[in-house]
Every structure is written in structure tokens, then in C-alpha cells.
Amino acid sequence: MSVIMRIVFMGSDPIALPMLESLLHDFKSACTFVGVFTQPDRPSGRGQKTEPNAIKVWAIKNKLPVFQPEKFTDDDRLILISLKPDMTLVMAYGHILRDPVIAVPALGTFNLHTSLLPLLRGASPIQTAVALGEKITGVSLMRIVRELDAGPVADQEKVEIAELDTATDVELKLSKACVPLVTRNLEKILNKSLHFKDQDKEVVTFCRRLTKEDQNLDFNYPSSLLAARINGLNPWPSASIEIHGQKIKVGLADSLESENLSQYGVGTITGSDALGLLIQCKTGLLRLRQLQRPGGRMLSAKDFLRGFPIETGTLLSSSTMKDLVSKTAFR
């Protein structure tokens, strides 16, 4: 590129950092950041101390102007106009942008969404992809429109989901996948030659915001589904089971074939092996590989059971699990 593109970034999550670092250092002759919009500082951690998010820390480190509106107002739009951006790039910002804001940059306002759209529009695409047992997910580069995650898609970068990947593992993969996705499309954006394809409305799915109620497990489901759900909900809200009156978090799981349902009913602990605690499900055995008692650390099942023995034949209660995905938007 012979012209340096002026970029405003809007985001609040560290998932964008590898991509931002790449644009800042590897493409400094092609683009420059003229401003960063991010969420206000929030209380975090056990002490609930007010801290800046990772995007603000990165921006300050690199001497970039930072703006933190609680709500994006007309005054903030005027600030955006004053920055004279050619492009606004958005990822995990946390604000809904109105049409007058979207229209400010001459080359467009683009979003990076962490799913293979039109699949998994909504608030928890990474966790939901893992929890559904998907083998592939990815990042979509799209043009922002008023309807959430509904804009036309220009390009996608796929990543694989391994059997024991948690949501954290997949988020790291997607974070790295943003780098080639954005950098290979920079020149097309500048030249206005980026081609977009409308999302197929017939195959659109939606995911929702997760809650603490999603910790529930129902052993009347196949063990493979429960293992995927446990891994997808790691690190938050984390699936849990109740044993001896204590709520035990589950950090990692996989599944095994089982032929002993006649001996052990659904939800019964059938023993343990070198890798985890075994629970009979509707089909197959669920193997809990990491466990955490209240106030303790997440441990391997082997280490956990040394200090918290659980008898074979213990029956665990099942709790209703809410759907994570829908063909229509969650309300």
C-alpha cells in the first residue's frame, strides 16, 4: 500500500491483542491507529479493585489516544469524526453502534466475530461452539449493520477444536487466527475491492449470554455431549456437581463407551481410572478429569480424590440444562 490507512479500533477484550500488535508493528508502513475506544475501567478480581482492561493497557503503552464512553453518545461520535478514520475495526467492544457511528469512516466499519457466520450469532460463540462438540469454528470478518452479527461476511479463518480443548484454548486459537484474516484483507479494504456475501438466513443460529444456571449437568444426556459442555463452560460459569453437600466445579472432561448401564443407573459414579472420575450417563461414561472443591484449587481428578474420596455407587442428582443454541434470537 502506498497510502497509510487511518484506523480506529473499538474493543474491550484481550482476544484482539495479537491482531492489534501485528497491525501496529508489522504493517506500520500501511496503517496507523488514530484512536482506541474501549469500555470504562471496571472492578475486577477478588478484591474488586477498579482496573483498566487489557486493550486500554495496550493503547497507553503504545501512546494511542484512548476513549472510554459508558454509552456511545453523539459527543463520542463527534470525537470519532475528529479522528478522521478511514476504517473502524471492532471486536468484542460491548457497545451497540448506531448507523450514524457506523457511517463515519470512509472505507467502512468492520467487525471480527468469533464464529463461522451465519452460525452462532450472539454473546457466547466460543463457549457454545465447544459446548456443542463442534470440530471446527473460526473468525468472520464482516461489515457491521444495525442488526446484531447480521452483516455480510467478507472472509473467514477456520480453527480446529480438539477433544480436550476448553473455551480458553479455543479463544487463544481464534485470537491468533485474527492476524492472517485481517492482514490479508487490508489492501482490499483500502482499494474498496473487498467482496461481501450476505448470510444465509436459512442456516442462521443464535447463542445466548451464559449464566450461573448453566453450571447444571443432566446425566440423562449422552456422555459425549456432557463432556463437550463441561469443556465449553471452562473457565466460566464452569459446570458443577454436588457431592456430600458440597458444590464441586468440573474443569475438564471426556467420554468413554460403557456397557454397564444395567449395573449402574444414570448419574451413578462407577469408579475412577488414572485420568478421572467416572459417571454413568444415558449413553457412555463421563470422565471428569479436573475437579475443584469450594475455596480450593482446580486439581487433576487423581489428586482431588486423594483428599476428597468418593465411593463407587454414589448417585449424583441431575439438573435441567438450558439450551445454548437456537434457530431464533434469544430474548
Q: Is the pLDDT of residue 262 over 70?
A: no
pLDDT of 86: 97
Q: Where are the beta strands (DSSP E) in 153-298?
A: 153-160, 206-207, 239-243, 246-256, 269-272, 277-280, 285-292
Phi/psi region, residue 295 (left: phi>0; alpha: psi -120 to 50; beta: rest), is left
**Domain extent for 96:** 5-207
131 assigned to some structural domain: yes
Per residue in 152-196, pLDDT tens? 999 999 999 999 999 999 999 999 999 999 999 999 999 999 999
> Residue 1: is its pLDDT beyond 60?
no
Q: What is the mean pLDDT of residues 291-312?
A: 96
The confidence band for 74, taking pLDDT boundaries of 50, 70 and 90, is very high
User: What CATH number has the domain bearing residue 172?
Assistant: 3.40.50.170
Listed range (25-29, 36-40, 75-79, 257-261) with the worst mean pLDDT: 257-261
Cell of 107: 472505507
Task: Say yes or no: 139 and 9 in one domain.
Answer: yes
**N-terminal to C-terminal alpha carbon distance within the chain:** 44
State whether 198 and 241 are in the same domain: no
264 confidence band (pLDDT: 50, 70, 90): confident
Please tell me which residue, 289 or 262, carries the higher pLDDT value.
289
The residue out of 207, 240, 264 marking a domain boundary is 207
Place 260 in a pLDDT band, splitting at 50, 70 and 90.
Answer: low
In a domain, 316, yes or no: no
290 and 165 part of one domain:
no
Residue-wise pLDDT for 52-63, tens only, equals: 999 999 999 999
Question: Quick one: 119 and 17 in the same domain?
Answer: yes
Q: Are residues 97 and 201 in the same domain?
A: yes
Q: Number of folded domains in the chain?
A: 2
**82 and 219 share one domain:** no
| Residue 214 φ then ψ, to 5° | -75, 0
Residues 153 and 298 both lie in one domain: no
241 domain residue, yes or no: yes
Per-residue pLDDT at 259: 63
